[in-house]
Amino acid sequence: MPKLQGFSLFFSNFSARLCLKPQLLLELRLCVGMGGDPNGKRIICRKRKAATPVNGNEQALSSNVERRGAISRILGPIGVFFHGFIENPRMVGSVIPSSRVTIDAMLDRVDWQRCKLFVEYGPGVGTFCPHILDRLPPGGELLVIDTNPRFIEYLQRTVQDDRFHAILGSAENVEEYVRHIGHDEADFVLSGLPFSSLPNSVATGIVEATQRVIRKGGAFLTYQFRPTAKELTEEHFDKVDTGYVWRNIPPCLLVWGWKTDES
C-alpha cells in the first residue's frame, strides 16, 4: 500500500504542476517527438555544449533546446524524466527514477579506489550521478551516454563538475566514446537501459562492446525489472552476482558481471 500511495502522490504532484502552469501544455505539444534514436550514432555532446545539428539547421536546434529547457525549469527533474518516458518509453526503463536503496545496493560492490573511469548508460536526469561523483577517488571521471537529447541537455545544465562528461549517442559505441575522453578502458559500467525492449542485435551489441571496454577486474552493473540483462551478462562475463531490491518502484533485479583476470 505505501508504494501505491507514493506512486499516486507522484502523479498528483505532476498534475498539480500542469494545472499551475497552463502554458506548459503548449510547450509539451511543441516538443512531442523529439526523443532519442536507440540506434543512433550521433557524436558527441560534451559538458554544457549543445549537440551539433545533423541537418545544419542551428536555428531550429536552438529553438528546440530552449523549449526543452523551459519545460525542465517548470517541472524539475521528475517532470523531465516523466516527459522523456512519454517521448520514448522503449528507451526508459521506468516512469519513476530509481530509489536510494537501489542506488546504494548497486554501487556498494564497486572498488572505488581503483576506479579511474565509471561509465553509465541511460542516466536519465542523473539519479545515480551525484552518488557516483561523491564516491570517485581523486582523478576519477564519470562518463554518461544517452540517446535522448532532453536528458543530455538537462545534465549539462545541472551537473557542474569537471569530472563529468555527457555524450549523446548509443551505448554500442562506448569504446569510441571512452577513447574520445582520453581513456583506453573503463573500470565499471552501469546500465539502466531496458534490455528487454531493445532489438536483440542492439542489446547484444551493447553487452559485447561493454565486455571489451571494461578492464580486467572491473564489472558491468545492471538494474532491471526483467531477466534479459542478467541472461546477456551471463553469456559474456566470467562471474555473475545477483541481488534484488524490493524497496523500488517497481522492484528490480541487480546484476554484477565481473571480468576476471583470466579473461
What pLDDT sits at residue 250? Answer: 81
Superfamily per CATH, domain 1-263:
Vaccinia Virus protein VP39 (3.40.50.150)
Would you say 71 and 18 are in contact if contact means Cβ atoms under 8 Å apart?
no
What pLDDT sits at residue 186? Answer: 98
Query: pLDDT 10s digit of each residue in the chain, 263 long?
Result: 444 444 344 434 433 333 333 333 333 322 322 334 434 444 444 444 444 333 444 444 445 545 555 554 545 555 555 555 555 555 444 445 568 999 999 999 999 999 999 999 999 889 999 999 999 999 999 999 999 998 899 999 999 999 999 999 999 999 999 999 999 999 999 999 989 999 999 999 999 999 999 999 999 999 998 999 999 999 999 999 999 999 887 888 999 999 997 65
Q: Does pTM surpass 0.75?
A: no
What pLDDT sits at residue 17? Answer: 38
3-state secondary structure the chain: CHHHHHHHHHHHHHHHHHHHCCCHHHHHHHHCCCCCCCCCCCCCCCCCCCCCCCCCCHHHHHHHHHHHHHHHHHHHHHHHHHHHHHHCHHHCCCCCCCCHHHHHHHHCCCCHHHCCEEEEECCCCCCCHHHHHHHCCCCCEEEEEECCHHHHHHHHHHCCCCCEEEEECCHHHHHHHHHHCCCCCEEEEEECCCHHHCCHHHHHHHHHHHHHHEEEEEEEEEEECCCHHHHHHHHHCCEEEEEEECCCCCCEEEEEEECCCCC
- Alpha-carbon distances, residue 53 vs 47, 49, 60, 150, 173 (angstroms): 16, 12, 9, 14, 19
Compute φ and ψ for 42, nearest 5 degrees.
Answer: -80, 130
Residue % of the chain over a pLDDT of 90: 53
What pLDDT sits at residue 121? Answer: 98
What pLDDT sits at residue 160? Answer: 94
